[in-house]
Amino acid sequence: MTEIFGLTGLRPGTGFEKTLTCPPYDVIKPGTALESLLAANPKSLYHVVLGDHPAQSLQDFVEDGVLIRDDVPAFYIYEQIKGGSRRLGFLTAVAVTPYEKKEIIRHEKTFEEKVLGRIKLMTDTGYVTEPVWLLSRAPIGPVLEAVASQREPVYAFESDFNGASELHGIHNRIFKVEAGEPEGQKLMALIGAQALYIADGHHRYHSALRMGLDRCIAYICEADAAQIQAYNRVIRGKVPFSEIKDQLPLQKETQFKTPEKHQFAIYTKDGCYSFRASHVPEDPVGRLDCHILEKTLYPLLKLDHSMINDPACFDYYPEYELDAMCQQVDDGKYDLAVALNPVVPAELLAVADAGILDPEIVMPEKSTFFAPKILSGLFLIPTGK
């Protein structure tokens, strides 16, 4: 049985919710317009999750009322609206249990450096600062809809990141449901009946597990409500692409865009190309396009799996940043950009389910980009360590 609990800890003081909240730490790239914008805002959670003095920043926020204490255990229904798209989920505390218990199921590997960074932050501040995004097969939608349609939100605001984040312009509404209320009890019963699948935040969950925490923050939504964008690559090989391109079944293209399933779009200074996979394996990991790409293109460029987190060889961009990828190539930082077709929730769950029986079965790193992301700063909980 998967246990969830009402949240107690810190949440934004009235009027500070828009100023404090920011995108997750792992999409704030150094040197970008987004980082500069957040760093210039003295009340942004950025200074806690990525700043030089996280513990002092957190203490200042509490003393200044930017963050207030709330000791009433509660779930927070979280609505995000942009254009014609709307998603409902909820923030909660979830029991941190080993993967072997099959209550929290992963689908992706983690990088040790990132795990150690999150452990240090929690150790320094004494708080879990950002949620893990979990998917559920439980029918929680009707409960969430009932709350959103019948209650007044505790927060309602539009995120403003000056166009530098996919979270810019999203209308956010947050509704409080105390854990003892019928709706809270219903959520606990529904979630407890099934396993939860990590969508985003593997490093956050793994760091909580490594620290031996009892609980971490989680955002939970129905699996069908998740939108997954492709996680694309810009690449500089040990061998120039121009020297190996004749070894690929390339087609000349007029534009660089998201391709069809099992097809790959390529942008270079010399033009745009595509090629289709000649063989698609049957196993749930082997048939993923990111895995096929690693087995077909990377060896030609004299790259291997050990290099995928090396910024001299790779960087990663969500599907909506195709233009930024092209600019990286035009500026000469990388040799080529590759766009993939996005993973769909059914593919993710298939890998995760296979991994229940064999823990070695996981998706390649940088396989998925869930969007829109979950704002950081809506709730922080003490580590208890």
Phi, psi (degrees; rounded to nearest 5) at 125: -95, -25
CATH of the domain at 178: 3.90.1530.10
Residue 362 included in any domain: no
CATH of the domain at 255: 3.30.1760
Same domain, 159 and 233: no
Distance CA 22, CA 160 (A): 9
Find, among 267, 264, 268, the residue nearest to 276 by Cα.
264
Supply the pLDDT for residue 225.
Answer: 87
Find, among 244, 239, 256, 250, the residue nearest to 329 by Cα.
256
pLDDT in tens for each of the 385 residues of the chain?
A: 789 999 999 999 999 999 999 999 999 999 999 999 999 999 999 999 999 999 999 999 999 999 999 999 999 999 999 988 999 999 999 999 999 898 999 888 788 888 999 999 999 999 999 999 999 999 999 999 999 999 999 999 999 999 999 999 999 999 999 999 999 999 999 999 889 999 999 999 999 999 999 999 999 999 888 888 899 999 999 999 999 999 999 999 999 999 999 999 999 999 999 999 999 999 999 999 999 999 999 999 999 989 998 999 999 999 989 999 999 999 999 999 999 999 988 888 889 888 888 878 888 888 888 889 999 999 999 998 5
Residue 350 included in any domain: no
Supply the pLDDT for residue 94.
Answer: 98
Residue 353 included in any domain: no
Q: What is the pTM of this model?
A: 0.87
Same domain, 194 and 305: no
Same domain, 94 and 205: yes
Same domain, 216 and 249: no
Phi, psi (degrees; rounded to nearest 5) at 328: -60, -40
The neighbouring-strand residues paired with 315 are 234
Residue 352 included in any domain: no
Burial class (CB in 10 A: 0-12, 13-18, 19+), 379: buried
Same domain, 222 and 233: no
Same domain, 180 and 281: no
Phi, psi (degrees; rounded to nearest 5) at 145: -65, -40
* Other beta carbons less than 10 A from residue 36's beta carbon: 11
Distance CA 223, CA 191 (A): 12
Task: Quickly count helices (H) and strands (E) in the chain.
Answer: 12, 19
Q: Output the CA–CA distances (angstroms, integers) from residue 356 to 98, 122, 325, 335, in the order listed.
A: 12, 28, 36, 38
Supply the pLDDT for residue 195.
Answer: 92
Same domain, 322 and 173: no
Supply the pLDDT for residue 374.
Answer: 96
Same domain, 277 and 322: yes
Residue 357 included in any domain: no
Same domain, 146 and 281: no
Range of the domain at 200: 4-228+369-382
Supply the pLDDT for residue 265.
Answer: 98
